[in-house]
Structure 1
Amino acid sequence: MSNLINQTALVTGASTGIGAVYADRFAKRGYDLVLVARDRTRMEALAARLRRESGVTVDILQADLTNVDELAPVEERLRTDMRISILVNNAGASIASSFVDQSPDEVTKIINLNTTALVRLASAVAPRFVKAGNGAMINISSVVGLAPEFGLTVYGATKAFVLFLTQGLHLELEPKGVYVQAVLPAATRTEVWERSGWDMNALPLLMEVDELVDAALIGFDRRETITIPSLSDVEQWHTFDAARQSMIPNFNQVHAADRYRLVTSDQS
């Protein structure tokens, strides 16, 4: 996207996996970076490599985004740093256990990281992007948000939230010059699986993270709102979305649908 004037990208979950590859790819495009994650050691190693290889400026913000006190400085940086023109909302987590085996604290942590932190960061930067008439957000969702059949109930619900949020922000912000993209990876080879308690040997075939990000960036350059790198037939998404839109005129009715209205018959 050549219309982004200020060349700095802020990437969350940037110490490894998808976030680290996004940082690498934007550095190769000449963007300075702000890296956000909990693991300072890994971020410092990544930053040193990107400075050496690409000659870009890399700042580090160590933060646990589930902690509001640590989230606040990242929000403030997005509000005030006029150089930042891209937000990559990548940080996320899952748990391998079923819903009934997850504790309330575990569920809350997933929701706080995957949705609350993401929307707060988007909220922090959106007014500035709108004022500038420029800027981009990349929100990492998941195909799980479209498939409750996969069984990852809470994780999938958070990713469905990210998808809906992105679609809503697109409708609201695109006319004001702000581009918003949701990326829906399928199973991708990152450390999130092991951190979430999954047995890597029991998993299906995984997409390599470099291939995932490179495909997502093609969608970014094309200004796609929804990018599903593993979906071969894009018409399947278009059909799905068209079916959803076809229902909208029928939602706002003053009476219940006939199928929900009581049926009376004369009794002889």
Structure 2
Amino acid sequence: MSDSSKTAVITGASSGIGAVYAQRLAARGHDLILVARRLDRLEKLAHELSSAHGVRVETLAADLGTDSGVSGIEKVLASDKRIGMLVNNAGVARLAPLAGATAEDAMSQVSLNIAALTRLTRAVLPGFLARNQGTIVNVASVLAIQSLPISAVYSGTKAYVLAFTRALQAELASTGVKAQVLLPGVTATDLWSEGISGVPLSVLNQDSVMSTPDLVDAALRALDEGEAVTWPSVEDAQLWTDFEQARARLFAATQTGRPASRYRAG
């Protein structure tokens, strides 16, 4: 990565995937700005990383599910010219049938998974473009392309992250700014608990669960190699190529300006 001497901002950095990103990027020589709600965890991690790797680590407590929380981080991203990387990792899953979900559970996913990610990306982008360098990593999910009876809102938010990042990649194609979208499967994090997702890790097929170090190491290797869309657990990369080609053919087939023959009267 060309931004190894720059500062990386990581959201949702107090545990799980975000904390491992912090560890790995500190080991690569990045200074860090760690963002999460739990300041005590952030400060403990910051002390460990600065002691182990000699990097500068700042902590910012913010609830990115709120307007005020996002606004504070937007200001940092827009004004700090040291920032060369943004990892949009903060997210939440509330898995339940929509009819039985509360409005709060539904909208908390939209606020964090969509609104915060969009606002923070938009805030950092002008500076990256002005300097013609920078890296944005957006964490989506394999449920971006697969909807379950309990994932209407969550799958919808992660489908947004995938589509948003793909469009952003096209927008940035002629610049020195890069964007990667990461699509993890089930990962061993705090998210998979009765109190957060509603689906505890213990009830899932353990053969399908990836460790957070394995996930982040795969994601960073893919980023080093310039991969735009990363499926860490998918062995056959041709599957994504086939999916993209089928999507392109389907879109091309929509550009006729007339109803398909099956919808036209005799």
- TM-score band w.r.t. shorter chain: over 0.9
Unaligned runs of 5+ in 1: 264-268
Aligned to 1:70: 69
Q: Give distance in 2, aligned partners of 1:137 and 1:199.
A: 30
In the TM superposition, 1:168-187 aligns within 5 A as 168-187=167-186
Name which one, 1 or 2, has greater alpha-carbon Rg. 1
- Asked if structure 2 preserves the Cα contact closer than 8 Å seen for 1:6 and 1:82, the reply is no
Matched, 1:238 2:237: no
- Secondary structure of the residue aligned to 2:60 is strand
Q: Give distance in 2, aligned partners of 1:100 and 1:128.
A: 42
- 1:171-197 deviation digits (Å, cap 9, x = unpaired): 001212110000000000000112323
Tell me how far 1:258 sits from its aligned partner: 1.6
Unaligned runs of 5+ in 2: none
Runs of 4+ that moved beyond 3 A? none
Q: Give distance in 2, aligned partners of 1:95 and 1:247.
A: 31
Q: Give distance in 2, aligned partners of 1:64 and 1:40.
A: 11
Q: Give distance in 1, aligned partners of 2:4 and 2:142.
A: 32
Q: Give distance in 2, aligned partners of 1:157 and 1:248.
A: 19
Whichever residue aligns with residue 232 of structure 2, its letter is P
Matched, 1:79 2:78: yes
RMSD over aligned CA atoms reads 1.2
Aligned to 1:211: 214
In the TM superposition, 1:81-96 aligns within 5 A as 81-96=80-95
Tell me how far 1:5 sits from its aligned partner: 6.9
Matched, 1:221 2:220: no
Tell me how far 1:100 sits from its aligned partner: 1.4
- Asked if structure 1 preserves the Cα contact closer than 8 Å seen for 2:31 and 2:55, the reply is yes
Q: Give distance in 1, aligned partners of 2:221 and 2:77.
A: 25
Q: Percent identity?
A: 40
Q: Give distance in 2, aligned partners of 1:249 and 1:261.
A: 20
- 1:207-264 deviation digits (Å, cap 9, x = unpaired): 110000000111111111100000010001100111111223222222112222122x
In the TM superposition, 1:149-168 aligns within 5 A as 149=148, 151-168=150-167
Tell me how far 1:200 sits from its aligned partner: 2.7
User: Using a 3 Å threshold, how does the CA distance of structure 1 residues 44 and 35 change in structure 2: closer, same or farther?
Assistant: same
- Secondary structure of the residue aligned to 2:181 is strand
- 1:41-74 deviation digits (Å, cap 9, x = unpaired): 1001100000010000001110000111121110
- Greater CA drift, 82-91 or 190-199: 190-199
TM-score, normalized by length of structure 2?
Answer: 0.95
Q: Give distance in 2, aligned partners of 1:48 and 1:4.
A: 23
Q: Give distance in 2, aligned partners of 1:133 and 1:6.
A: 15
- Secondary structure of the residue aligned to 1:35 is strand
Tell me how far 1:150 sits from its aligned partner: 6.6
TM-score, normalized by length of structure 1?
Answer: 0.95
- 1:93-118 deviation digits (Å, cap 9, x = unpaired): 01132221111111011100000000
